[in-house]
């Protein structure tokens, strides 16, 4: 089924769900408790329900935000591990923004603990950006300032919001090293080119190598991101449909 890859197949198999029919007939609350909001989407697809708009020929969907999240291979309890995951996810988010010629003014994080309690927090960047380091550091800043840690963390996500064209005019700060930022942007575009030619793992940040079990995935190619706010619509539909 569309959007059910190897990882999701394994998760469904552990729930004794092997076919689309079994997924369609499964209890929605049960599916959601194990897969979160993504479970709502898959359950709707399995039942042939899809209210996302159909694009006209030659048109592209308007991208409201770009993000990525992952369920961790183990529960995370330290800030150091959270930082590693944020860098991994921020690489995916920033690369997608560059692909679409966009920058983000706001960074949003998603945190879910091992009892499946989740929350989202966000903050604005100083300048619209598609730089990995600025995304990751802002995500970590939000996490440290706004997330109240109570239990080990099971899932993390990073999203860029309030998008603008990458060539948008900005008011420069005399005390900001804009030459350095231009060089960083050029470097990240060069990394994108190398990965397109030789694969994602051809070049990696040092922080990613500190724990390959935690950060060894390719978040850009191995995770599906909807270009429109599909998940919120799916959740609204579920709440209305279940009364």
Domain membership of residue 237 as a residue range: 6-52+228-242
The burial class, CB within 10 Å (0-12 / 13-18 / 19+), for 202 is: exposed
The residues with which 200 forms a beta bridge, in sequence order, are none
| 3-state helix/strand/coil string of 200-223 | HHHCCCHHHHHCHHHHCCCHHHHC
Residues 106-142 pLDDT 10s: 999 999 998 888 899 999 998 899 999 999 999 999 9
Q: Quick one: pLDDT at residue 170? A: 59
- Mean pLDDT value across residues 92-96: 91
Question: Do residue 87 and residue 123 come from a single domain?
Answer: yes
Q: Residue 140 and residue 121: Cα distance in Å, rounded? A: 11
The answer to whether the beta carbons of residues 31 and 42 sit under 8 Å apart is yes
61 domain-assigned: no
Question: Do residue 143 and residue 238 come from a single domain?
Answer: no
203 domain-assigned: yes
DSSP letter at 117 equals -
Residues 135-156 pLDDT 10s: 999 999 999 998 888 899 999 9
How many structural domains is the chain composed of?
2
The answer to whether the beta carbons of residues 109 and 68 sit under 8 Å apart is no
pLDDT at residue 199 tops 70: yes
Question: Do residue 97 and residue 48 come from a single domain?
Answer: no
Read off the pLDDT band of 53 (50, 70, 90). low
Q: Quick one: pLDDT at residue 31? A: 86
Any idea which residue has 């989202």 for tokens? 120
């Amino acid at each position: 089924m569309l959007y059910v890859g190897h990882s999701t197949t394994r998760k469904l198999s552990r729930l004794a769900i092997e076919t689309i029919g079994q997924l369609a007939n499964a209890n929605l609350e049960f599916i959601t408790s194990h897969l979160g909001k993504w479970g709502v989407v898959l359950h709707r697809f399995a039942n042939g329900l899809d209210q996302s708009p159909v694009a006209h020929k030659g048109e592209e969907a308007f991208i409201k935000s770009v993000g990525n999240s992952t369920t961790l291979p183990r529960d995370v309890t330290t800030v150091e591990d959270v930082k590693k995951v944020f860098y991994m996810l921020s690489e995916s988010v920033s690369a997608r923004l560059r692909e679409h010629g966009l920058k983000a003014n706001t960074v949003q994080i998603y945190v879910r603990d091992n009892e499946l309690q989740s929350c989202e927090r966000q903050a604005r960047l100083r300048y619209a950006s598609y730089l990995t380091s600025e995304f990751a550091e802002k995500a970590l800043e939000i996490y440290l300032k706004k997330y109240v840690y109570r239990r080990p963390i099971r899932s993390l996500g990073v999203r860029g919001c309030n998008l603008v064209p990458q060539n948008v005019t900005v008011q420069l700060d005399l005390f900001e090293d804009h030459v350095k930022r231009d060089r960083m942007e050029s470097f990240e575009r060069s990394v994108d080119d190398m990965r397109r030619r030789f694969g994602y793992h051809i070049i990696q940040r040092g922080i990613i190598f500190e724990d390959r079990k935690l950060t060894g995935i390719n978040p850009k190619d191995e995770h599906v991101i909807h270009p429109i706010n599909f998940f919120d619509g799916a959740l609204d539909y579920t709440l209305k449909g279940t009364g």
